Amino acid sequence: MYYYFIIGLQGFCIYHAIVNKSDRYWIFVIFFVPFLGSLIYLITQVLNKSDVEKVQGNLTAIINPTKKVKELYKKLEFSDTFQNKVNLADAYFEIKDYNSAISYYEEAKDTLFSTDFYVTSQLMEAYFYLKKYKKVIACYEELRTGKEKIKAKNQLQYGLALDKLGKESLAEEELKKVNISFSNYEERLSFAEFLMDKNRNEEAKNILKEILEESKHFTKDNSRIYRETIRLVKSYLKGM
């Protein structure tokens, strides 16, 4: 267990150093002196309240990904509330156990909060990952009757689900709704991929070029968040 703790700590520190663009020598210190180097890095570069919580969360996920699930299950046994069911479902969702997540989201919906927007949104995403496309559409129809704005990721999932069910024209109309300038970068990339799958490369290329141009105006945070998205955009454009 001690060995895995060190590996987890080292991995987190290297990840933190890269993401936050710390001086390069820190990576060598952490790599070649795993425990002491990581400890020094944490003390000098990381330690404030929010980051400490982040460190603890990441290390727990690396060492024991089901620990959070077990803790939240005990809380639910002690107090069978809507929020405790949702929290447990979220924990299962985080470790990609979508079937278990769906089970607890559905239990939560059976309470007085059956129209909760967040729960339905999460259910929709879980069903999408499990390729239960009719369920995805049912969730979307429920979201559409609510007052809250539908998230871009749910709009994308709805469009792709329609396509999987053979409704290509309707799917495209729905997917166009995510193609909004200076936002929805991941969803717009997926829309471009949809068009490429239909051999409509020129239309896809226009979307990709727009995303790439907009990325030149990213803040530091957005550059970090969408790094992989922009890498894929460049890769697709290079191959066209």
Phi, psi of 122, deg, nearest 5: -65, -40
pLDDT value of residue 37: 75
Look at residue 236 and tell me whether its pLDDT is greater than 60. Answer: yes
Higher pLDDT, 59 or 221: 221
Assign 17 a pLDDT band (cuts: 50, 70, 90). Answer: confident
pLDDT value of residue 50: 45
Q: Return d(Cα 174, Cα 194) in angstroms, integer.
A: 12
Cβ(87)–Cβ(78) below 8 Å: no
Model confidence pTM above 0.85: no
For the stretch 120-138, pLDDT in tens is: 999 999 999 999 999 999 9
Which value, in Å, is the radius of gyration of the alpha carbons in the chain? Answer: 21
Q: Considering only CA atoms, which of 143, 161, 211, 183 is closest in space to residue 175?
A: 161
First to last CA, the chain: 48
For the stretch 67-95, pLDDT in tens is: 888 888 899 999 988 999 999 999 999 98
pLDDT value of residue 200: 94
Residues of 192-228 as b/e, b for ≥16 C-beta within 10 angstroms? Answer: bbbbbeeeeeeebbebbebbeebbeebeeebeeebee
